[in-house]
Chains A and B, each alone.
Chain A
Amino acid sequence: MSSHQTEVLSTAERVNRSLKRRYAAERRFRFYGLASILVALVFLVILLGSIFFTAIPAFQKSYIGLNVTFDAETLGIENIEASNAFLTADYDAVIKAALRQRFPDVSSRSEKRTLYSTISVGGTYQLADMLQAQPELLNTTQFVWLTADDEIDGYFKGKIDISAPESERRIKDNQIAWLESLKANGEVKKGFNWTFLTAGDSREPELAGIRSALTGSFLTLLITLLLSFPLGVAAAIYLEEFAPKNRWTDLIEVNINNLAAVPSIVFGLLGLAVFINFFGLPRSAPIVGGLVLTLMTLPTVIIASRASIQSVPPSIREAALGVGASAMQTVLHHVLPLALPGMLTGTIIGMARALGETAPLLMIGMVAFIVETPQGIFDPSTALPVQIYLWTDSPERAFSELTAAAIIVLLLFLVSMNLLAVLLRRKFERRW
């Protein structure tokens, strides 16, 4: 009897029986998906968190206040009228005198040398700028905040473990005594590290900044964008809309797809051989960097543009051709506007990749130590990722913080570029 009933209800019951299993499978699958997203998120948080926390100290900088006497004799200024009088003056001597005056007990030569290293070499430039701006300060005494040396800065930021034996510390006991006395007298302050944003590279971490690298990256990317977007879009339009389908276009297509997967350093070698050695363009210049990154970005732009042209419904082309638009008008009036958002997305993806690229830039000499901010596309410059690479190579402790800070700037650059892409896409999409 019961077997008979299962026969009658077989479909419904069978479905019911399988339902439990099916829903369990669905729940399991959802759990896997959620778990993988959580794992990814955790790693992202760890990555960003570690970069962020390493970078925070780099945005702050210690200053030491000193009563500096701009004594003409100590400065070695004989003729104030001389045009370079303030440029060639010996500011180092003034700082040393101020330090000696602040710590009169320091007498031995080695102790004096240690004392002098408290102030960064940048202090002399600070004083020079000051005196040049206000010549009337000559032969007066001024209270000046001078940049502290990176080791001293590290001490104030708590980076030095003072419980370690003195011989294993970069900061000795006598220095600690001086610094604590400065601190107690309110002659130490911390301020925002503007140098990081306004200066070029330097061997001294407290004087190093990303301005030249940022400018270099900006100029390089500008050239990449100006070349790869029009070239890529034109190539994509030709291949999609005009090129006859034959063996040659197939060959070109395969090669473009392959180029997208070529390691970037190969493009660097090509750039070195062609642009620098053959065409004689300057080394380590944004123009060459931009050209090399254009070669690297073009396949990405072309592939993305072709995909977005293909996604334009053929009925739109038929409609335009049907009212008598020429092939060119069909493309310019209808296909291109509809494909533009996708093209922009592809271009930004390519640009983002170009922004983070280091290897090809190493090959064309953009790895140089550049202090000056490049003024044009032919000036020597470096790029942000290369600057990061250079800093990680430096022995000074404070450079690791600068590296993290530069990575944050690079990420901000990327985020703002992507944001711009999203805004542009919205703007163009709204019209349709």
Chain B
Amino acid sequence: MQKSVSIEQPVMDNMQPAKSIMVQSSKDTDFEFTGTVGNIAAANPRMVTRNVDVFYGEKQAIFDVSLDIGTNEVIAMIGPSGCGKSTFIRCLNRMNDTIESCKVSGEIRLDDKSIYRKKQDVVQLRARVGMVFQKPNPFPKSVYDNVAYGVRIHGLASNKMELEEIVVSSLRRAGLWDEVKDRLDAPGTSLSGGQQQRLCIARTIAVNPEVILMDEPCSALDPIATARIEELIDELRENYTIAIVTHSMQQAARVSQRTAYFHLGYLVEVGETSQVFTNPAHKLTEDYITGRFG
């Protein structure tokens, strides 16, 4: 705990000017959270969150967030740095469990069952709600073993043939097959950044999850690799429910059907992407998407 404080302090210092602007702007608009603007409900919800609060020790990171994630939709979470969008998405497959000081309250349901209930097995949950991280993090194993790992530990393939089929089809769906089919034995870490991220996506979909969480999946990639991933997200939508955190508003506009805007731990506005970007209902959202701060 002390460690994290000592690390955070200088970062905060560096960001002093940006922070003061942010505070100013929220003062300008008299930011006082009065409830989320827009329709938090989705037509056919796969995951439902209600009144979620997240604390890191004493510090509250998420305030009373309620949001539905609809089946086969891409929902984008946008907002300035430190607004809690990554924290929120990490609650959806309980990745926050690994942080000891982190406490989550409120309700998060997957198919009408709370994922924080006692009986919920976290391993099973993470098999159903997969995650792609900000930095490509392939295992230091071969391309094949990277994709096969999840399938193997969950026992999803009954024999080698089946395993191979799953690996090949996952790589195909991740749009990586043509590039790696001749070097499945090469280490995953030898691929380029964009290929590594697609490998991570292939690894995630190999387990056949219901929901895929993506935490800024393109922030470490060049524009061409980003475009490939965005295409891929669009294709994956047919079979999966996707929640994506992004810093790029263009990306949110391109890939998502719904957009949620977070600010200082509050969910300020949520709605159809086209509507949020063309006609934002909240002043803060408008300021953010027009580039006034963030």
Name A's B-contacting residues (CB within 8 A): 244-245, 313, 315-326, 329, 333-334, 338, 432
Contacts and interface: CB of A to CB of B under 8 A. Distances in A.
Given A318-B95, A322-B133, A322-B204, A432 B126 contact: no
B277 interface: no
B207 A324 contact: yes
Given A245-B100, A319-B200, A329-B153, A324 B137 contact: no
A325 B137 contact: no
A323 B126 CA distance: 6
A316 B135 CA distance: 11
A254 B181 CA distance: 51
B133 A432 contact: no
Interface residues of B, number: 27
A324 B127 contact: yes
A322 B131 contact: yes
11 contacts: A317-B98, A318-B133, A319-B200, A320-B149, A321-B98, A322-B126, A323-B130, A324-B150, A325-B123, A325-B149, A329-B153
A319 B95 contact: no
Contacts of B138: 319
A326 B155 CA distance: 13
Interface of A is mostly: helix
B153 A325 contact: yes
A380 B278 CA distance: 88
Contacts of A326: 123
Contacts of A317: 98
A316 B140 CA distance: 9
Contacts of A319: 133, 137-139, 200, 203
A295 to B, nearest CB: 31
A324 B133 CA distance: 14
Interface in B93-136: 93, 95, 98, 100, 123-127, 130-133, 135
A324 B95 contact: no
Interface of B: 93, 95, 98, 100, 123-127, 130-133, 135, 137-140, 149-150, 153-154, 187, 200, 203-204, 207
Given A315-B135, A329-B153, A322 B100 contact: no
Contacts of B203: 319, 323
Contacts of B132: 322
Contacts of A318: 95, 98, 131, 133, 137
A324 B139 contact: no
A323 B149 CA distance: 8
A28 B123 CA distance: 60
A162 to B, nearest CB: 70
Contact of A324 (B98, B126, B187): B126
Given A325-B149, A326-B123, 12 more contacts: A316-B137, A319-B139, A319-B200, A320-B149, A321-B98, A321-B126, A322-B130, A322-B131, A323-B150, A324-B130, A325-B150, A338-B140
B89 to A, nearest CB: 12
**A324, A326, A329: residue with the most chain B Cβ atoms closer than 10 Å:** A324
Nearest to A246: B100
Nearest to B149: A323
Q: Which 4 A-B pairs have the closest CB atoms?
A: A323-B150, A324-B127, A315-B137, A324-B126
A317 B93 CA distance: 15
**B98, B132, B154, B200: residue with the most chain A Cβ atoms closer than 10 Å:** B98
A168 B207 CA distance: 90
Contacts of B125: 324
A97 to B, nearest CB: 76
Given A244-B100, A245-B100, A329-B153, A323 B137 contact: no
A287 to B, nearest CB: 40
Contacts of B98: 317-318, 321
A39 B203 CA distance: 56
B139 A334 contact: yes
A322 B95 contact: yes
B196 to A, nearest CB: 11
Contacts of A325: 123, 149-150, 153
Contacts of A316: 137, 139-140
A315 B139 CA distance: 9
**A245, A319, A338, A432: residue with the most chain B Cβ atoms closer than 10 Å:** A319
B188 to A, nearest CB: 10
Contacts of B93: 322
A282 B149 CA distance: 50
A10 to B, nearest CB: 31
B140 A324 contact: no
A324 B135 contact: no
Contacts of B131: 318, 322
B130 A320 contact: no
A251 to B, nearest CB: 17
Contacts of A244: 100
Nearest to A338: B140
B95 A323 contact: no
Contacts of A313: 137
Contacts of A432: 140, 187
A244 B101 CA distance: 11
A324 B154 CA distance: 8
Contacts of B135: 315
A321 B94 CA distance: 10
B279 to A, nearest CB: 36
Contacts of A323: 126-127, 130, 149-150, 153, 203-204, 207
B127 A315 contact: no
B123 A324 contact: yes
